Amino acid sequence: MQFVLANLRDDRRNLYMILFDYVLHQINEACLASGVSEYSDDESQVIATLLTLADAPEALHISVRLGVDGVGDLLKRSVAAALSRYANCDRLNMLQEKIIERFDTIVRSFSNLDTEFSHLRHISKSHTYLESIEDGVLRNDVCMKAKLAWATLHSLLHSERIPYRQNGYLWLGDLLMAEINDKKDTIWSNVKYLQQKIALAGVNDYSEDLDVPLSIWLLCGLLKSKNSLIRWGFLFVLDRLLVRCKFLLDEKKIHHLNNDAPEHLQEKSRLEKASAVIDVMSTALSLVAQINETDRLNILKMCYILFSQLCLKVLPSNSVSSGDALHDDAKSGTSCGEDLMEDTKSKFSSKNDTLTSETASMAALLLRGQAVVPMQLVARVPAALFYWPLIQLASAATDNIALGVSVGSKGRGNIPGATSDIRATLLLLLVGKCTSEPAAFLEVGGDDFFRELLDDTDSRVAYYSSTFLLKRMMTEEPESYQRMLSSLVYRAQQSNNEKLLENPYLQMRGILQLLNE
């Protein structure tokens, strides 16, 4: 389970090696029990190295996350040529077969529903509305089996035992995908239908009049639990559903475009596909904010889903400064506010800033210009999904405002991709949305909201907020800004303090002090 939940590539690789050692131990125990010689460390090291080079940790992680079988065969084909060069290739091939077979077993245990529930899942797929079960048309035995199927699924989802909940998640995920894939309408209309029904079930108690499938009632019902682990199940199922939706939209080749289609049509198709998934995500995550979730792990999971759907990685050769990465480019739609982030790297990056997509989270990648966010997608996300978790995670700040803002924080106390990076990213996305959408700026509380963030204990949050406020004042109230700047210049000369003018945070603080005098 930890392997499935690991967000960082290094974490997945380390957990994969633990799984590899566990599988090898099982194989050697079986060899001893049958009187066959064990596999040596040299032999196992060859297989371990080749599978790692074939990116087995990522392949297994994606396989489990999406419930995709057959990853073992892909890995075997990937290393077949390299294995054939060894003198003892027959024995190595045998070891590889055993390792892959056990990996497949582990994957199936997480991605496939236990066989004891398979028949009930089939029944639940055939009877998706309670009213259709109770309308008297079904035979009594069929009616009882349908009710049993849905009651069993509910019990699994709300169980205290992880294996039971896992089966519930797999079962529920299949039912939700059936609402998209097995209906007669187009995939686009089915995705939109799913979004609308999630919105209805999320804010209403059960009602036949709302025409919502039982699977969606059960999904939204997870958020109504007092147990944070059960509520986390909502996010787990949603995360997997969104990724599977993306794959499904790709498979259906929306608009029947091929690689020979004009670039602008391909770009439009990709944007439409991403927008459809973003709309489902926004509707579902808004429910998490509406219940005012307090569990930090659930809020972090929410942010993980948000970033994973919004952010696009860029190749290292195309990496740009944080300011450029957060620029609203009309063609590619990267992100928000080049002016805001102009000197971010110099003030907030470590001297040894060598993070890449190999180790960093999406939040860390975005802050370092190694990922971008299309503003067209940000526009579809409610502002609350940026500012609500930003405030909820405030107690997790680890930087020092007094030192960090004054001299320029190096961020050495923060683990890349941790809560501090997440809050900084949320704020930057919020600034981008507020810059392009006046309604969003008013929704969060306008200048007052960002002024309150000047007192945040995380230096980057305070710094970004002050820079945004300063830029707004320069563009919205240029005459007032010039008067304040003249007064600040005089004070700086009197106190011999040039930082009062060089540092946006101190400059904004000085302006606010002048306004209050």
pLDDT digits (tens, 9 = 90+) for 411-437: 444 565 678 889 999 999 999 999 999
Highest mean pLDDT of the ranges 103-107, 135-139, 326-330: 103-107
When pLDDT is averaged across residues 492-509 and rounded to a whole number, the result is 80
Burial 367-401 (b: 16+ CB within 10 A, else e): bbbbbbbbbebbeebbbbbbbbbbebbeebbebeb
The DSSP output letter for 183 is S
Mean pLDDT over 444-472 rounds to: 92
Least confident of 385-389, 395-399, 431-435, 458-462: 395-399
Neighbours of 2 (CB within 10 A): 9
pLDDT value of position 452? 94
Q: Is the pLDDT confidence value at 314 over 90? A: no
173: its two tokens: 């995920």
- What is the per-residue pLDDT across 191-210, written as a single tens digit (0 to 9) for each? 999 999 999 999 999 988 89
- Looking at 8-17, 30-39, 435-444, which range is the least confident one? 8-17
**pLDDT at site 55:** 84
Per-residue pLDDT, 16 = 86
The pLDDT confidence band at residue 261, using thresholds 50, 70 and 90, is low
Given pLDDT bands bounded at 50, 70 and 90, which one contains residue 399?
low
Q: How confident is the model at residue 319 (pLDDT cuts 50, 70, 90)?
A: very low
The CA-atom distances, in angstroms, between 173 and each of 179, 216, 245, 369 are 10, 10, 11, 34
Task: Please tell me whether residue 400 adopts helix, strand or coil conformation.
Answer: coil
pLDDT at 79 over 70: yes
Supply the pLDDT for residue 348. 45
Strand partners, 128: none
Tell me if the pTM is above 0.85: no
Residue 292 C-alpha from the chain's centroid: 19
Q: Is the separation of the CB atoms in 373 and 429 below 8 Å?
A: yes
State yes or no: pLDDT of 325 exceeds 50: no
Mean confidence (pLDDT) of the chain: 82
pLDDT band at 315, cuts 50/70/90?
Answer: low
pLDDT tops 50 at residue 357: no
The structure tokens listed for 128 are 């998706």
* pLDDT band for position 361 (cuts 50, 70, 90): confident
